[in-house]
Structure 1
Amino acid sequence: MGKYAEDAKELLELVGGRQNIAAVSHCMTRMRFVLSDPSIADVKKIEAMKAVKGSFTQSGQFQVIIGNSVADFYNDFVAAAGIEGVSKDAVKQAAKKNQNLLQRAVTAIAEIFAPLIPAIIVGGLILGFRNCIDSLYLFENGTKTLCDISQFWSGIDSFLWLIGEAVFHMLPVGICWSVTKKMGTTQMLGIVLGLTLVSGQLLNAYAVASTAAADIPFWDFGYFKINMIGYQAQVIPAILAAFTLVYLEKFFRKITPQVVSMIVVPFCSLVLAVIAAHFILGPVGWKIGSAISSVVYAGITGSFKVIFGAVFGFVYAPLVITGLHHMTNAIDLQLIADYSGTMLWPMIALSNIAQGSAVLGMITLQRKNAAAQEVNVPACISCYLGVTEPAIFGVNLKHLYPFVCGMIGSACAAVICVATGTTANAIGVGGLPGILSIQPKYMLSFAICMAVAIAVPFLLTVIVGKKKSMKRSETEMIPEDTEEPVKELKAFLDGRVIPLKEVGDGVFSEGVMGDGLAVIPENETLCAPADGTVTVLMEESRHACGLTLSNGMELLLHVGIDTVDMKGDGFEYLVKEGDKVRTGDPLICFDRKKIKQAGHPDTTVCIITDEGEARGIQFHTGIRAEANDTAVITFE
Structure 2
Amino acid sequence: MAKYTKDATDLLTYVGGKENISAVTHCVTRMRFVLIDDKKADVKKIETIPSAKGTFTQSGQFQVIIGNDVQEFYNEFITVSGIEGVSKDAAKQAAKTNQTWIQRLMGNLGEIFAPLIPALICGGLILGFRNIIDAIKLFEDGTKTLVEISQFWSGVDSFLWLIGEAVFHFLPVGIVWSITKKMGTTQILGIILGITLVSPQLLNAYAVASTAAADIPVWNFGSFSIQMIGYQAQVIPAMMAGFVLVYLEKFWHKHCPEAISMIVVPFLSLIPAVIIAHTIVGPIGWKIGDMISQVVYAGLSSNVKWLFAGVFGFVYAPLVITGLHHMTNAIDTQLVSTYGYTILWPMIALSNIAQGSAVLAMITLQKKNERAQQVNIPACISCYLGVTEPALFGVNLKYMFPFISGMIGSSVAAMLSIGFGVKAVSIGVGGLPGILSIFAEYWGFFALAMAAAIIIPFALTYVIGKKKLSDEDLFGEANSLVNGYQHSSEPEIFASPMDGKILPLEEIEDAAFSSKAMGDGFAIELSGDEVVAPVSGEIVMSFPTGHAYGIKSDDGKEILIHIGMDTVELNGEGFDVKVKAGQRVKQGDVLVKVNKDILTSHGKSLVSPVVFTSGEKVELHKKNETITKNEKGFIAFI
Q: TM-score range by the shorter chain?
A: 0.5 to 0.7
Residue 361 of structure 2 contacts residue 461 of structure 2 at CA under 8 Å; is this kept in 1? yes
Give the distance between the partners of 1:339 and 1:553, measured in 2 at CA. 64
Query: Residue 240 of structure 2 corresponds to which residue in structure 1?
Result: 240
Query: Residue 287 of structure 1 corresponds to which residue in structure 2?
Result: 287
- Deviations along 1:28-49, whole A, 9 cap, x unmatched? 96763346xx8xx487x76568
Query: Residue 110 of structure 2 corresponds to which residue in structure 1?
Result: 110
Shift of 1:283: 0.4
Residue 55 of structure 1 contacts residue 63 of structure 1 at CA under 8 Å; is this kept in 2? yes
Shift of 1:409: 0.5
1:178-193 matched pairs, under 5 angstroms? 178-193=178-193
Q: Does 1:272 pair with 2:278?
A: no
Q: 1:466 aligns to what SS in structure 2?
A: helix
- Would the alpha carbon gap of residues 223 and 121 (structure 1) be closer, same or farther in structure 2, given more than 3 Å must change? same
Give the distance between the partners of 1:87 and 1:120, measured in 2 at CA. 30
Q: Give the aligned residue type for 2:355.
A: Q
Query: Residue 323 of structure 2 corresponds to which residue in structure 1?
Result: 323
Query: Residue 552 of structure 1 corresponds to which residue in structure 2?
Result: 558
Shift of 1:142: 2.3
- Would the alpha carbon gap of residues 202 and 100 (structure 1) be closer, same or farther in structure 2, given more than 3 Å must change? same
Q: Give the aligned residue type for 1:274.
A: V
Give the distance between the partners of 1:103 and 1:347, measured in 2 at CA. 23
Query: Residue 578 of structure 1 corresponds to which residue in structure 2?
Result: none
- Deviations along 1:87-145, whole A, 9 cap, x unmatched? 89988656534433322211111111111111111111111111221222222222222
Query: Residue 377 of structure 1 corresponds to which residue in structure 2?
Result: 377
Give the distance between the partners of 1:288 and 1:353, measured in 2 at CA. 32
Q: Which runs of 5+ in 1 are unaligned?
A: 79-84, 485-529, 535-547, 555-609, 615-635
- Bigger mean CA deviation after superposition, 415-424 or 327-336: 415-424
Give the distance between the partners of 2:475 and 2:13, measured in 1 at CA. 38
- Would the alpha carbon gap of residues 200 and 71 (structure 1) be closer, same or farther in structure 2, given more than 3 Å must change? closer
Give the distance between the partners of 1:10 and 1:373, measured in 2 at CA. 24
Query: Residue 510 of structure 2 corresponds to which residue in structure 1?
Result: none
Q: Does 1:32 pair with 2:31?
A: no
- Would the alpha carbon gap of residues 94 and 167 (structure 1) be closer, same or farther in structure 2, given more than 3 Å must change? closer
- Deviations along 1:231-254, whole A, 9 cap, x unmatched? 111111111111111111122222
- Bigger mean CA deviation after superposition, 425-434 or 368-377: 368-377
Query: Residue 336 of structure 1 corresponds to which residue in structure 2?
Result: 336
Give the distance between the partners of 1:166 and 1:327, measured in 2 at CA. 23
Residue 26 of structure 1 contacts residue 70 of structure 1 at CA under 8 Å; is this kept in 2? no
- Would the alpha carbon gap of residues 402 and 174 (structure 1) be closer, same or farther in structure 2, given more than 3 Å must change? same
Give the distance between the partners of 1:360 and 1:33, measured in 2 at CA. 33
Shift of 1:311: 0.8
Give the distance between the partners of 2:473 and 2:332, measured in 1 at CA. 43
Give the distance between the partners of 1:240 and 1:277, measured in 2 at CA. 8
Shift of 1:317: 1.0
Give the distance between the partners of 1:72 and 1:156, measured in 2 at CA. 54
Query: Residue 149 of structure 2 corresponds to which residue in structure 1?
Result: 149
Query: Residue 60 of structure 2 corresponds to which residue in structure 1?
Result: 60
Shift of 1:305: 1.0
- Would the alpha carbon gap of residues 152 and 86 (structure 1) be closer, same or farther in structure 2, given more than 3 Å must change? closer
Residue 15 of structure 2 contacts residue 40 of structure 2 at CA under 8 Å; is this kept in 1? no
- Deviations along 1:176-207, whole A, 9 cap, x unmatched? 11111111111111111100000001111111
Query: Residue 351 of structure 2 corresponds to which residue in structure 1?
Result: 351
Query: Residue 139 of structure 2 corresponds to which residue in structure 1?
Result: 139
Query: Residue 448 of structure 1 corresponds to which residue in structure 2?
Result: 448
Give the distance between the partners of 1:115 and 1:477, measured in 2 at CA. 42
Q: Give the aligned residue type for 1:231.
A: Y
Q: Give the aligned residue type for 2:344.
A: L
Q: 2:189 aligns to what SS in structure 1?
A: helix
Residue 34 of structure 2 contacts residue 60 of structure 2 at CA under 8 Å; is this kept in 1? no
Q: Does 1:394 pair with 2:400?
A: no
Query: Residue 221 of structure 2 corresponds to which residue in structure 1?
Result: 221
Q: Which runs of 5+ in 2 are unaligned?
A: 1-5, 67-72, 480-488, 494-514, 520-551, 561-611, 617-637
Q: Give the aligned residue type for 1:269.
A: S
Give the distance between the partners of 1:131 and 1:94, measured in 2 at CA. 45
Residue 60 of structure 1 contacts residue 98 of structure 1 at CA under 8 Å; is this kept in 2? yes
- Deviations along 1:214-236, whole A, 9 cap, x unmatched? 21111112222211111111111
Q: Give the aligned residue type for 1:429.
A: V
Give the distance between the partners of 1:419 and 1:51, measured in 2 at CA. 45
- Deviations along 1:398-442, whole A, 9 cap, x unmatched? 222211111110000001111222111110322111111112332
Query: Residue 459 of structure 2 corresponds to which residue in structure 1?
Result: 459
- Deviations along 1:287-327, whole A, 9 cap, x unmatched? 11111111111111112211111111011111111111111
- Would the alpha carbon gap of residues 50 and 418 (structure 1) be closer, same or farther in structure 2, given more than 3 Å must change? closer
Give the distance between the partners of 1:289 and 1:149, measured in 2 at CA. 40
- Would the alpha carbon gap of residues 199 and 25 (structure 1) be closer, same or farther in structure 2, given more than 3 Å must change? closer
Shift of 1:257: 2.4
Q: 2:558 aligns to what SS in structure 1?
A: coil
Give the distance between the partners of 1:380 and 1:613, measured in 2 at CA. 30
Residue 293 of structure 1 contacts residue 334 of structure 1 at CA under 8 Å; is this kept in 2? yes
Q: 1:387 aligns to what SS in structure 2?
A: coil
Give the distance between the partners of 2:225 and 2:62, measured in 1 at CA. 53
- Bigger mean CA deviation after superposition, 386-395 or 334-343: 386-395
RMSD: 4.0
- Would the alpha carbon gap of residues 436 and 24 (structure 1) be closer, same or farther in structure 2, given more than 3 Å must change? closer
Residue 47 of structure 1 contacts residue 55 of structure 1 at CA under 8 Å; is this kept in 2? no
TM-score of the pair, normalised by structure 2: 0.67
Residue 300 of structure 1 contacts residue 343 of structure 1 at CA under 8 Å; is this kept in 2? yes
Give the distance between the partners of 1:172 and 1:194, measured in 2 at CA. 5
Aligned residues: 480
Shift of 1:471: 7.0
Q: Give the aligned residue type for 1:451.
A: A
Residue 123 of structure 1 contacts residue 168 of structure 1 at CA under 8 Å; is this kept in 2? yes
Residue 346 of structure 1 contacts residue 417 of structure 1 at CA under 8 Å; is this kept in 2? yes
- Would the alpha carbon gap of residues 186 and 531 (structure 1) be closer, same or farther in structure 2, given more than 3 Å must change? farther
Residue 131 of structure 1 contacts residue 436 of structure 1 at CA under 8 Å; is this kept in 2? no
Identical residues among aligned pairs (%): 60
Residue 34 of structure 1 contacts residue 60 of structure 1 at CA under 8 Å; is this kept in 2? no
Shift of 1:455: 1.0
Q: Give the aligned residue type for 1:282.
A: G
- Would the alpha carbon gap of residues 32 and 611 (structure 1) be closer, same or farther in structure 2, given more than 3 Å must change? farther
Q: 1:209 aligns to what SS in structure 2?
A: coil
Residue 352 of structure 1 contacts residue 388 of structure 1 at CA under 8 Å; is this kept in 2? yes
- Would the alpha carbon gap of residues 476 and 182 (structure 1) be closer, same or farther in structure 2, given more than 3 Å must change? closer
Q: 2:422 aligns to what SS in structure 1?
A: coil
Residue 365 of structure 1 contacts residue 470 of structure 1 at CA under 8 Å; is this kept in 2? no
- Would the alpha carbon gap of residues 478 and 284 (structure 1) be closer, same or farther in structure 2, given more than 3 Å must change? same
1:193-592 matched pairs, under 5 angstroms? 193-468=193-468, 473-477=473-477, 480=489, 532-533=517-518, 551-552=557-558
- Deviations along 1:35-94, whole A, 9 cap, x unmatched? 6xx8xx487x7656899977644443567999989789979xx9xxxxxx9989988656
Q: 1:179 aligns to what SS in structure 2?
A: helix
Shift of 1:26: 5.4
Q: Give the aligned residue type for 1:253.
A: H
